[in-house]
């Protein structure tokens, strides 16, 4: 993981499980998210039970955690995948039942490949601070 100090940003993580003790897996994941390096958990939603969407298996237990983290988006994604693996996550086929599923919801504002095209189609959604935050990233506009 990166060692450079970065200003913390907000990240939203969807948490879900539908194998084993799904509720316990979600609760353990919430605790683990708050223990990631350079990260703290700011808020957690209620737990929700949902039927699998475009998938099979038992109902899911879901939640969303709001984090403050200084990890880069790739480092946070790697940390989420490590937590999934530690919980026994397997990916035998798309949308397979899972012991733990962690999805990064909102780090788009750190990614030039999202911010630049978004500014083209919806400039009101890209404020100056967001634009400046990605301005040093290498990106090329094609005709």
User: pTM for this structure?
Assistant: 0.75
Give catalytic status of residue 103 as yes or no. yes
Is residue 58 domain-resident?
A: yes
pLDDT at 106: 67
Q: Are residues 112 and 138 in the same domain?
A: yes
pLDDT of residue 1 exceeding 60, the answer is no
Q: Are residues 82 and 141 in the same domain?
A: no
Answer whether 72's CB lies under 8 Å from 6's CB.
Answer: yes
Is residue 30 domain-resident?
A: yes
The more confidently predicted of residues 143 and 118 is 118
Q: Are residues 91 and 48 in the same domain?
A: yes
Alpha-carbon distance 23 to 61, whole Å?
6
pLDDT of residue 108 exceeding 80, the answer is no
Give catalytic status of residue 98 as yes or no. yes
Q: Are residues 81 and 140 in the same domain?
A: no
Hunting for tokens 């913390």 — which residue is that? 8
Q: Are residues 96 and 115 in the same domain?
A: no
Is residue 143 domain-resident?
A: yes
Q: CA separation (Å) from 89 to 4, 18, 86, 100, 122?
A: 30, 11, 7, 6, 37
pLDDT of residue 55 exceeding 70, the answer is yes
Mean pLDDT of 60-67: 91
Mean pLDDT of 24-50: 94
Lowest mean pLDDT among 29-33, 37-41, 42-46: 42-46
Alpha-carbon distance 107 to 109, whole Å?
5
Is residue 46 domain-resident?
A: yes
Q: Are residues 35 and 102 in the same domain?
A: yes
Q: Which of 103, 120, 125, 127 is the catalytic position?
A: 103
pLDDT at 26: 95
Alpha-carbon distance 96 to 13, whole Å?
19
Domain with residue 38: its CATH number is 3.30.70.560
Give catalytic status of residue 101 as yes or no. yes
Q: How many domains does the chain have?
A: 2
Q: Give the strand pairing for 101-104 and 60-69.
A: unpaired
Q: Are residues 100 and 139 in the same domain?
A: no
Range of the domain at 15: 9-106
Average pLDDT, the chain: 89
């Amino acid at each position: 993981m990166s060692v450079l100090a970065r200003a913390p940003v907000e990240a939203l993580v969807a948490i879900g499980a539908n194998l084993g003790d799904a509720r316990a897996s979600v609760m353990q994941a919430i605790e683990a998210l708050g223990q990631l390096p350079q990260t703290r958990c700011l808020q957690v939603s209620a737990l929700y039970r949902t039927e699998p969407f475009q998938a099979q298996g038992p109902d899911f237990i879901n939640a969303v955690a709001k984090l403050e983290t200084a990890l880069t988006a790739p480092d946070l994604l790697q940390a989420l995948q490590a937590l999934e693996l530690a919980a026994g996550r397997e990916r035998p086929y798309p949308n397979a039942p899972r012991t733990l599923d962690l999805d990064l919801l909102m780090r788009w504002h750190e990614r030039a490949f999202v911010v630049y095209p978004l500014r083209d189609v919806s400039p009101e959604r890209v404020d100056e601070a967001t634009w400046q935050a990605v301005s040093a990233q290498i990106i090329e506009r094609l005709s």
